[in-house]
Structure 1
Amino acid sequence: MKSILKPAILALAMLAGLPSCEVERLPETSVSDETYWRTESDLKTAANYLYTFLPGFGTIDGVNNYGNEDVWSDDAVGLATNNISDGSRLAPATANEYNSPYRLIRAANNIVEKAPRASAATAASIIERYTAEARFFRAWGYFSLVQRYGDVPLILKILDDTSTELQAPAAPRAQVIDQIYQDLDFAAQKLPTPTVLGTADYGRISNTAALAFKARVALFEGTRSKYHNYGEPTKHLKLAVDAAKAVMDSKQHDLFTGSYFDLFQMAGEGRQNRENIIVRQYGVSTADRVSTQNFFRGTLENGNMNPTKSLVDSYLMKDGLPITKSPLYTAPTKSTDVFKDRDTRLTDTYFKAGDAWIGTKLVYDVAPLVFNKTGFTFRKYSNLDDWVTSASLIDRVLLRYAEVLLTYAEATYELNGTISDADLDLTVNRLRARGSVAKLSNAFATANGLTVRDEIRRERRVELAEEGFRYWDLIRWKTAEIELPKPVLGNYFFKAEYGTSTAVNLTSDNIILVQAANFRKFDPAKDYLWPLPINEIALNPALKQNPGW
């Protein structure tokens, strides 16, 4: 049975706070802050609120429009073009992506500051545990901000109307990143292991979650600083290697033993799936719908996130070679040919003829181009029963052990300029094995004109497809300026299957053209950072807009 975190609404009112540069006051009917913070139950209830900020489907950091972030990249496209991926956005007046993390940070600061008030009957270890959860979430909030904006205000205490910090300039990104590391180190030391959390507390943040997230942060900053030529890349890459290895050595996690498709179904839920490290939980059962999601029907089936040819082409043939090099590859003449002799994760991630589909058409045959404009349809988290009820209980996986393995492999290579075959076997080749793909070795790469770095990056793209990583990978590798201005292409146009009822633009090679290159741009002088909301700069003139915006 799924364990679910149930935040207390009464506590939410008390913990609501500073979104950025303005103070929200508590209603007079709220629980008195002076009478709270006494028991373990008080601390746990306060900490439960933090979990509502874990991104679900269709929310950004607990607010909106997250879960479709792949359309920012070259991996997916929606029904309409996206102003991030095509370079047409303008600086916004307000942005939930900015305000929501600061609400999370304030709630976390509130716990860090007030948890020590707990009565003498509350053990110090209990106070430290929930303080550690709060510091983990503070790190989560700040990483979301640094990824987007770079330098941001660093606030580590509760503010009021008179606080000078409300008019302070942004802290350098290096200072913010170091604070993230400090918070995650504290969390890794004070939080329970997944084994100790067990089934009863499945879904709460563990010590390995803190380490795995530290590895993610350090890989991002290490590679970003390396390829954007600033900061201390070696420092961050070493931290990424060490944190990932600590998770691996803990033996608390392993790859899911079921199918790759089931990893994103109810079969992959709960403590029995040791691959999951951080998840956004949904309801316990159809009779206990604490919260539900409608990602399949509202996003995948409706065409709000369609995979591109660029992503599909990145999947290897079973011999371990890309389609441009493998003798196994032949140009498809029908839609199912795309999956022939390929990495089996391709069939687990994209619909093909014969798969269970939707309530009004039980079996999938070919993508309806009026919605799925690329001729491909993502399959992760799809479930026929959930389509019918429009109320899925499948958790969103936010961090899993496969990512840790990929982080270790990439950080090792980026740090040393090489990676041993033994380390490839510990990481990349374990993932290739579940796709029934031949192993990668240094000799194999050399013999076939491949580079190990590119193959590690390819493996990351394939393994984590449809999970929101690709845009940020392009940002940190400084390749967004190369990849995003390319045309958005789809499948081959199989006329006998797709029909002619929907107008489709095609290339000279009979490939679906969704968006031409001349409608896409990426300005490397400004687009590697997001624009600060204009209203935030008006509220605090010490904040400076990012270059070019």
Structure 2
Amino acid sequence: MKITLKHTLVALALMMAVSSCDVERLPETNISDLNFWKTESDIKTANNYLYTFLPGFGNEDIWSDDAFGLSANSISDGSRLAPATAGDYNSPYNLIRAANNVLEKAPRAEVSATVLNRYLAEARFFRAWAYFSLVQKYGSVPLILKTLDENSPELVAPAAAREAIVDQIYADLDFAITNLPTITTLGTADYGRISKTAAYAFRARVALFEGTFAKFHSKGDAVKHLTLALASSKAVIDSKEHALFGNYFDLFQMAGEGRQNKENIIVKQYGVSNTERVATHNFYRGSLETGNLNPTKSLADSYLMKDGLPISKSSLWVMPDSSHKVFRNRDARMSATFMKRGDAMMTTKPIFDIANLVFNKTGYMFRKFANIDDWNSQASTIDRPLLRYAEVLLTFAEASYELNNAITDAELDMSVNLLRERGQIAKLSNAFVKANGLDMREEIRRERRVELAQEGFRYWDIIRWKTAETELVKPVLGNFYFKSEFAAATVNLTPDNIILVQAASFRKFDPAKDYLWPLPINEIALNPKLDQNPGW
């Protein structure tokens, strides 16, 4: 880990040496190119900069129906306008520029083909990572595969077809899969670097997104992408390089750090302690406790009862008359994800009793990543998991079902039932679905929602499933209003005594335009051949 920290510190030093950057140009460091690209160490140091683009903690779940912040969100409620500029557009191109720079200059080094290809594979992985973030949001964007200067014609080229960009992503990931070391080979010393299974797992993510987007939006070759998603996720499973971590709550604490946790496939690293750190974040105190990210009733209701049935069907569900009873006989992951009475909270209030409605507008509070020491220091080094083995299992199950409109019990046992076992709920089977009038697709999607809650997936899932137009126009609801427990506050309630956070009348979603993001206006002004997305 100390070696990894050292490498990341070098990357941060390189980043500080860059005086400025934009979508077209990333200046070189103060080290001359003629003197730099000589050794394996040089290439590795240059590649370290790519890792700084891995996303840190954010509040993207408020775009979806899983969470709400201190106020309404314009993406979630459909009120946003096309921006002048957007970091979501420029930052990926900065990463693409940096990756292209490595791909062009690393071959100058006096290293073996095996060593060279390993680092070229890292660069191509990160280029794929950047392009996927662009495709998710904007669909078709310019495809740039070399470094540009002020006179490059690509600066005013039209956007490439979505399918062409995705094919390039697959090509980059294929190269990465072939040339990257396994996570076992990387070991503790190089923990955190991209591995062969990371490339497989990310290819599975891309292919599932594109396959389901094509299927439900009736655009593109769904079978092609879903077949690749199934094969890629199965390759990770068959590698035996990964396994689920035993305790779901500890997975998001310091106990889940490092190579000993075989569930994490890609992480954003922060360090091993406050005295041995690369960077810190303030996600718990700055987002969760202060109300910038609060779970909704829609998410809460998604958690099953212990018998494997939803609250609408289970005999175990009893209308709660106090806050802690909301969690009785539920999926254990709910208690690990939501704060409940008796949980450790923060220095000024060591034990949680009820959410503060001044900040936690829904009357719920997230618990994942909550840590009293981090609240006190405001400097957490808990890593952000970006791709977990649990996601791979969910991808396998969903891809199999969407390809065949069916899934076998054996496939369920090797995927979602491993997650349900950790959540301490009944297994999912075809007979169980039939006997209880359930829908297999919905149960697989439910499993994904609760397992990956608060990790930034929900918005993109309802986009690719084409259900955002149904889910995002619903009112935002919170907890039951337990008057004897909540402090006095002005709060709107439904007739059923549920906290009403935002009424449906204030929410809209236009299927003709909102499934893609608007391109920044300044980018269109700079490139007349770049067309705005429909409806914007």
Q: Count how many residue pairs are aligned between Structure 1 and Structure 2.
A: 533
Task: State the match for 2:86 in structure 1.
Answer: 95
Structure 2 residue corresponding to 1:238, chosen from 213, 227, 230: 227
Describe the SS at the equivalent of 2:395. helix
C-alpha contact 2:18 2:27 (8 A) present in aligned 1 = no
Describe the SS at the equivalent of 1:461. helix
Report the alpha carbon displacement of residue 7 of structure 1 after superposing the two structures with TM.
3.1
C-alpha contact 2:513 2:534 (8 A) present in aligned 1 = yes
Letter in 2 for 1:509: D
C-alpha contact 2:26 2:97 (8 A) present in aligned 1 = no
Consecutive unaligned residues of structure 2, counting only runs of 5 or more, are none
C-alpha contact 1:381 1:394 (8 A) present in aligned 2 = yes
C-alpha contact 1:525 1:548 (8 A) present in aligned 2 = yes
Structure 2 residue corresponding to 1:469, chosen from 457, 462, 470: 457
Report the alpha carbon displacement of residue 14 of structure 1 after superposing the two structures with TM.
7.3
C-alpha contact 2:462 2:468 (8 A) present in aligned 1 = yes
Letter in 2 for 1:202: Y
Describe the SS at the equivalent of 1:142. helix
Structure 2 residue corresponding to 1:112, chosen from 96, 103, 106: 103
Report the alpha carbon displacement of residue 290 of structure 1 after superposing the two structures with TM.
1.7
Distance 1:303 1:255, change over 3 A: same
Structure 2 residue corresponding to 1:19, chosen from 22, 34, 38: 22
C-alpha contact 1:14 1:33 (8 A) present in aligned 2 = no
C-alpha contact 2:12 2:52 (8 A) present in aligned 1 = no
C-alpha contact 2:21 2:27 (8 A) present in aligned 1 = no
Distance 1:52 1:37, change over 3 A: same
Task: State the match for 2:195 in structure 1.
Answer: 206
Report the alpha carbon displacement of residue 295 of structure 1 after superposing the two structures with TM.
0.2
Return the alpha-carbon distance in structure 2 between the equivalents of residues 18 and 477 of structure 1. Answer: 36
Task: State the match for 1:78 in structure 2.
Answer: 69
Describe the SS at the equivalent of 2:62. helix
Letter in 2 for 1:389: S
Report the alpha carbon displacement of residue 288 of structure 1 after superposing the two structures with TM.
2.5
Task: State the match for 1:504 in structure 2.
Answer: 491
Task: State the match for 2:166 in structure 1.
Answer: 177
Report the alpha carbon displacement of residue 11 of structure 1 after superposing the two structures with TM.
3.6
Task: State the match for 1:217 in structure 2.
Answer: 206
Return the alpha-carbon distance in structure 1 between the equivalents of residues 323 and 308 of structure 2. Answer: 22
Return the alpha-carbon distance in structure 2 between the equivalents of residues 370 and 456 of structure 1. Answer: 35
Distance 1:215 1:188, change over 3 A: same
C-alpha contact 1:367 1:375 (8 A) present in aligned 2 = yes
Report the alpha carbon displacement of residue 502 of structure 1 after superposing the two structures with TM.
1.1
Report the alpha carbon displacement of residue 287 of structure 1 after superposing the two structures with TM.
1.5
Distance 1:280 1:540, change over 3 A: same
Over residues 380-404 of structure 1, what are the superposed CA-to-partner deviations in whole Å (9 max), with x where a residue is unaligned?
Answer: 1110001000000100000000000
Report the alpha carbon displacement of residue 8 of structure 1 after superposing the two structures with TM.
3.7
Task: State the match for 1:528 in structure 2.
Answer: 515
Return the alpha-carbon distance in structure 2 between the equivalents of residues 16 and 272 of structure 1. Answer: 38
Letter in 1 for 2:438: L
Task: State the match for 2:185 in structure 1.
Answer: 196
Task: State the match for 1:375 in structure 2.
Answer: 363
Distance 1:138 1:426, change over 3 A: same
Describe the SS at the equivalent of 1:322. coil
- TM-score between both structures, scaled by the size of structure 2: 0.98
Task: State the match for 2:324 in structure 1.
Answer: 336
Task: State the match for 1:281 in structure 2.
Answer: 269
Report the alpha carbon displacement of residue 125 of structure 1 after superposing the two structures with TM.
1.2
Return the alpha-carbon distance in structure 1 between the equivalents of residues 235 and 496 of structure 2. Answer: 49
Letter in 1 for 2:10: P
Task: State the match for 1:60 in structure 2.
Answer: none
Return the alpha-carbon distance in structure 1 between the equivalents of residues 351 and 17 of structure 2. Answer: 49
C-alpha contact 2:11 2:52 (8 A) present in aligned 1 = no
Report the alpha carbon displacement of residue 6 of structure 1 after superposing the two structures with TM.
2.4
Task: State the match for 2:417 in structure 1.
Answer: 429
Letter in 1 for 2:61: D
Over residues 76-103 of structure 1, what are the superposed CA-to-partner deviations in whole Å (9 max), with x where a residue is unaligned?
Answer: 0000110000000000000000000000
Return the alpha-carbon distance in structure 2 between the equivalents of residues 140 and 406 of structure 1. Answer: 20
Letter in 2 for 1:431: L
1:151 matched to 2:134? The reply is no
C-alpha contact 1:18 1:102 (8 A) present in aligned 2 = no
Letter in 2 for 1:170: A
* Stretches of 4+ aligned residues off by more than 4 angstroms: 13-18, 24-27
C-alpha contact 1:16 1:103 (8 A) present in aligned 2 = no
C-alpha contact 2:70 2:292 (8 A) present in aligned 1 = yes
Describe the SS at the equivalent of 2:33. coil
Task: State the match for 1:256 in structure 2.
Answer: 245
Consecutive unaligned residues of structure 1, counting only runs of 5 or more, are 58-66
Distance 1:16 1:48, change over 3 A: farther
Structure 1 residue corresponding to 2:407, chosen from 419, 426, 429: 419
Report the alpha carbon displacement of residue 26 of structure 1 after superposing the two structures with TM.
4.8
Alpha-carbon RMSD across the aligned residues, in angstroms, is 1.3
Matches within 5 A, 1:6-85: 6-9=9-12, 11-12=14-15, 19-20=22-23, 22-26=24-28, 30-57=30-57, 67-85=58-76
Letter in 1 for 2:513: K
Describe the SS at the equivalent of 2:500. strand
Distance 1:18 1:233, change over 3 A: farther
Report the alpha carbon displacement of residue 284 of structure 1 after superposing the two structures with TM.
3.1
Distance 1:458 1:16, change over 3 A: farther
Describe the SS at the equivalent of 1:332. coil
Describe the SS at the equivalent of 2:36. coil
Report the alpha carbon displacement of residue 286 of structure 1 after superposing the two structures with TM.
1.6
Report the alpha carbon displacement of residue 333 of structure 1 after superposing the two structures with TM.
0.3
Task: State the match for 1:490 in structure 2.
Answer: 478
Letter in 2 for 1:49: Y
Report the alpha carbon displacement of residue 18 of structure 1 after superposing the two structures with TM.
6.4
Report the alpha carbon displacement of residue 34 of structure 1 after superposing the two structures with TM.
1.7
C-alpha contact 1:10 1:31 (8 A) present in aligned 2 = no
Letter in 2 for 1:71: I
Report the alpha carbon displacement of residue 289 of structure 1 after superposing the two structures with TM.
2.8
Letter in 1 for 2:365: T
